[in-house]
Amino acid sequence: MNRDTIIGFILIAAILIGYSIWMTPSKEEMTERQRKIDSVNMVRQQQMVLDSIRIAAEASRLLNETTEEEFRISGDTSSAIEFEELRDKFGVFGSSAVGNDSLIKVENGLITLSFSTKGGFVTDAVLANYRSYDTSPLQLFDPETASFDLSFFAQNRIINTRNFYFKPFLDGKPLKSAIRPVAENDSVVFSMRLHADLPDGSPDESRYIEYEYTIRGGEYMLGFNLNLVGLDKIVALNTNFLSIDFGIDQLQHEKSIDQFNGSTIYFKHLMDDVDYLSETKDDEESVKTRLKWISFKERFFTVSLIAGNYFENAVLTTTTKTDTRHPKYLKSLHSSIDLPFNLDASQTIPMSLYFGPNSFKELKAYDLELERQIPLGWGFFLLAWINIYIVIPVFNFLGSYGWNYGIVILVLTILLKIILFPIAFKTYHSSAKMRVLKPEIDEISAKFPKPEDAMKKQQAVMQLYKRAGANPMSGCIPMLLQMPILIAMFRFFPSSIELRQQPFLWADDLSSYDSVMSLPFSIPFYGDHVSLFTLLMTISTIFYTYLNNQMMGAQATQLPGMKTMMYIMPVMFLGLFNNYASGLSYYYLLANVITFGQIFIFRYAINEDKLRAQIEINKKKPVKKSGFQKRLEEAAKKRGYKP
C-alpha cells in the first residue's frame, strides 16, 4: 500500500468521524426529542386503551339513555348521578357528551356544506356545478363515514371532540335560524363551540374549543381556524401538540376508474416537494417532517386540509374496504396529524379547507402547489413545461369561445402539427435519402453476405452515408423531439377536468371511454366493451406504421425484429386505451390523420430524382474530416497504425 493510498484512507476516516460528530445532536436537542417522543407515546397509548374501551363502550350507553335537557331541567337524584358519571368519564366536557345531532347547511353558490353539531365538523360537501356520472348530485365523500377528531390529554383522560356536541354560532352570536346563502363577494363567519363545564354543569363561556369557518361566496376554499380559549388549566402541562384524525370514504363519480389518475393522498412537505401514496394499491406512510397540506385526491376532485403554519408530522393511510354498504364506495383515506400547541390562555391555530375540483387554474391561484396533484408529467420538467406553458393556455383560450371540446381538440392538434411541421419535414427528407441509397446498400449487403463480415459491411455502409451526405440518425432525432409532446398529451387529456362529461359525436364523455358496443363477456387486458375512437386510432396507427416502414427503406429492412414490434405495439395499446379517456384516443387519431396528409404533401414537395442527383454530386466532393477524427488518426499514427 503506497503513501497516497494511506493518506486517502486517513482523509476518508477523518471526514466520516467529523461528519458523525457534527451530526450528533446536542444534549438539549436529545432532551427535547425524547420529551416529544414520550408525549406522543403517552397520548397514543391512552388513546388506544381509554378511547376504545371506556369511551366507546360506556359512553354509548349514556348517550342513548339521557338527553341534554334532562341535565339542564331535571334536578332529581338519578340525573345528578348520571351527570357525575359523565364528569368522571369526560372531565370538564361531560355535559357536552349528550345532545341532539343536527345539521347546519351553508351554501356559497359553488358548494353546499353540512356541519354536524356532533363533532362540529363538515360531514357533507356537495358541488353545485358538477354531477356524478349517473347525473346525481356530486357528494365529495360519504357523509356517514366522514370523521374529524381533535384529541388531547387532559385531567388524566383522552378528550376526543368527535364524542361531544358543539353549539353553532354566527358572527360570534348563538345561531338561532338557518344561515342564508352566501352571495358573490360576500362572506360569513360561522363557528362551532365546545364549552367546558362550570361546577354546576352549565357551560363556561370563558373556556371552549371553537372551529371557526370563514365561508366566502363563489370560492371552494374556506378559512378554518382552531380557537382554543381558556384551556391552559385543562390540557396536560407536558402537551406539545394536539392530534387530528381526519378521514373520509371517497365515492366514485366517474364512469370509469382511471388507473393513472387514481384516488390517493397527496401531501406537501413544508420545505420540499409534493409527494403521494400509491394510486393502485393500499398504502401507508409515516411522515416525520413538517407538512404544509394534506389532500384526499380523486381523479377530478379533492378535499384538502391546509396548515396556516405547518403540521408537525402525520401518518397517512389508504385502504379499500370490502364490507362497505355505500353503492358508490371507492376508497378510504385517513390521516393522523400532529398539530403544534402551546399552553397559552388563548390561541388561534389557522388552517384552511378546500372542497373542489382539480382545476389547474383554480388550484394554481392559491400559490400552495396544490396543482401538483394534477398529473401533468411533473417527474420530467419538459413534460410539465409543455403542458403548463403551451397546452393548457391554448386549450383554455380555445375553450373560452364556447366551442365543443371535440372541436377544441381538433384545433389544438392542428396548431401542434403546424409547430412540428419543420421537424416532420426533416424526418421525411432523411427517409427519402435512405430510399435513394437503398440499391447501393443492397449491393454492399451482397458483397458481404457472411456473418463474420458484419463489421466490414457496417463500415462500408457508413462510408456510403458519409460520401452521400446522409445521416441515418437524422430521421430518428426529429422523432425523438416529438416524443415529449406525445407523452405530455398522454398526461394532459385524462387529467383535464374541462373534458369531464363533455360529449362529442358518439362519445358522451371525452374524459372516459366511448363505448359503442357492449360485449357479453370480458376480454383480459381489453374489457367488456368496444371503444370506437380507440379502435380507429389503432387502425390508423397500423397504417401509419406501414407507411413509415416504406419511407424508412433500408433502415426498416436492417431490423426485421423491430419492424414486427412496430406492428405489435398498436395492438397492445388497444387494450390500454380501450378503458382510457376517449379524448386522448381522439387526439392520437387526429394526429395520425394529419400526418397522412403531411406525407402526401412531402411526396410531391421532394423530388427523389433531384435528390439522387444531389447525392451523386456529394459523393464527388472530398470528404471533410472532423477535428475529432483527425485527432484519432494522429494518435493512431503515433502508435504505428496506418489508417
pLDDT at 107: 93
Work out the burial of residue 147: count CB atoms within 10 Å of its CB; fewer than 13 is exposed, 13-18 middle, 19 or more buried: middle
- In whole angstroms, give the CA distance from residue 587 to residue 406: 9
Look at residues 312, 339, 374 and tell me which one is the last residue of a structural domain: 374
Specify whether 396 is located in the same domain as 356.
no
Please calculate the CA angle 167-171-177 and round it to the nearest 5 degrees.
60
Specify whether 294 is located in the same domain as 206.
yes
Q: State the CATH number of the domain containing residue 255.
A: 2.70.98.90
- In whole angstroms, give the CA distance from residue 399 to residue 281: 35
Asked if residue 71 belongs to a domain, the reply is no
- In whole angstroms, give the CA distance from residue 548 to residue 565: 13
Specify whether 347 is located in the same domain as 458.
no
Which cell numbers in the block locate residue 365?
391561484
Question: Cα separations (Å) of 623 from 441, 461, 617?
Answer: 19, 15, 12
- In whole angstroms, give the CA distance from residue 417 to residue 410: 11
Specify whether 197 is located in the same domain as 276.
yes
- In whole angstroms, give the CA distance from residue 6 to residue 215: 69
Edge-to-edge order in the sheet of strand 329-340: 157-160, 147-154, 241-251, 329-340, 313-319, 283-287
Specify whether 318 is located in the same domain as 400.
no
pLDDT at 52 over 50: no
Q: Regarding beta strands 274-276 and 122-131, do their DSSP bridges make them parallel or antiparallel, or are they unpaired?
A: unpaired
- In whole angstroms, give the CA distance from residue 224 to residue 594: 52
pLDDT at 178: 86
Asked if residue 78 belongs to a domain, the reply is no
Q: Regarding beta strands 173-174 and 187-197, do their DSSP bridges make them parallel or antiparallel, or are they unpaired?
A: unpaired
Average the pLDDT over each of 352-361, 387-396, 409-418, 607-616 and give the range with the smallest value.
607-616
How many structural domains is the chain composed of?
A: 2
Q: Is 502 helix (H, G, I), strand (E, B) or coil?
A: coil
Work out the burial of residue 347: count CB atoms within 10 Å of its CB; fewer than 13 is exposed, 13-18 middle, 19 or more buried: middle
Q: Report yes or no: 585 and 537 within 8 Å, Cβ to Cβ.
A: yes
Share of the chain above pLDDT 70, in %: 75
* Count of CB atoms situated within 10 Å of the CB of 545: 18
Asked if residue 81 belongs to a domain, the reply is no
Beta carbons within 8 Å of 464's beta carbon, 6+ residues apart: 437, 440, 441, 444
DSSP H or E stretch at residue 149: strand 147-154
Residues 16-25 pLDDT 10s? 566 556 555 5
Asked if residue 34 belongs to a domain, the reply is no
Cβ-defined contacts of 123-126 (< 8 Å, 24+): 125/303, 125/355
Structural domain boundaries enclosing 133: 91-374
- In whole angstroms, give the CA distance from residue 234 to residue 207: 9
Residues 398-434 pLDDT 10s? 888 889 999 999 999 898 888 888 877 777 777 777 7
Residues 618-631 pLDDT 10s? 666 665 655 555 56
- In whole angstroms, give the CA distance from residue 243 to residue 160: 9
pLDDT at 12 over 70: no
Return the DSSP state at 170: E
pLDDT at 57: 41
- In whole angstroms, give the CA distance from residue 306 to residue 224: 9
Residues 298-308 pLDDT 10s? 999 999 999 99
Work out the burial of residue 626: count CB atoms within 10 Å of its CB; fewer than 13 is exposed, 13-18 middle, 19 or more buried: exposed
Interaxial angle between packed helices 421-447 and 405-419, expressed in degrees from 0 to 180 and rounded to the nearest 10: 60
Specify whether 547 is located in the same domain as 423.
yes
Measured in degrees and rounded to the nearest 5, phi and psi for residue 26 equal -75, 170
Specify whether 369 is located in the same domain as 396.
no
- In whole angstroms, give the CA distance from residue 124 to residue 144: 9
pLDDT at 549 over 90: no
Asked if residue 639 belongs to a domain, the reply is no
Ramachandran sector of residue 566 (left: φ over 0; alpha: ψ -120 to 50; beta: rest): alpha
pLDDT at 515: 86
Residues 85-114 pLDDT 10s? 777 777 788 888 888 889 999 999 999 999
Which cell numbers in the block locate residue 99?
345532545
Q: Is 202 helix (H, G, I), strand (E, B) or coil?
A: coil
Question: Cα separations (Å) of 520 from 155, 517, 527, 529, 575?
Answer: 64, 10, 10, 9, 17
DSSP H or E stretch at residue 259: none
* Count of CB atoms situated within 10 Å of the CB of 338: 21
* Count of CB atoms situated within 10 Å of the CB of 62: 17
| Mean pLDDT confidence for 141-146 | 91
Specify whether 234 is located in the same domain as 329.
yes
Asked if residue 84 belongs to a domain, the reply is no
Longest Cα separation, the chain: 117
Asked if residue 628 belongs to a domain, the reply is no
Q: Report yes or no: 102 and 210 within 8 Å, Cβ to Cβ.
A: no
- Which pTM does this prediction carry? 0.76
Which cell numbers in the block locate residue 604?
410531391
Q: 197 or 621: whose pLDDT is higher?
A: 197
- In whole angstroms, give the CA distance from residue 251 to residue 130: 14
Q: Is 562 helix (H, G, I), strand (E, B) or coil?
A: helix
Which cell numbers in the block locate residue 31?
432532551
Specify whether 500 is located in the same domain as 584.
yes
Estimate to the nearest angstrom the gap between the alpha carbon of 301 and the chain centroid.
Answer: 10
Specify whether 364 is located in the same domain as 250.
yes
Asked if residue 74 belongs to a domain, the reply is no
Residues 267-312 pLDDT 10s? 999 988 999 998 888 999 999 999 999 999 999 999 999 999 999 9
Q: Is 383 helix (H, G, I), strand (E, B) or coil?
A: helix
Specify whether 442 is located in the same domain as 466.
yes
- In whole angstroms, give the CA distance from residue 96 to residue 261: 43
Specify whether 232 is located in the same domain as 268.
yes
Average the pLDDT over each of 263-267, 371-375, 452-456, 474-478 and give the range with the smallest value.
474-478
Edge-to-edge order in the sheet of strand 122-131: 103-107, 111-116, 122-131, 137-139
Residues 570-628 pLDDT 10s? 888 887 788 888 898 999 899 889 988 888 888 777 766 666 676 666 666 665 655 55
- In whole angstroms, give the CA distance from residue 168 to residue 190: 7
Average pLDDT, the chain: 79
Return the DSSP state at 626: P
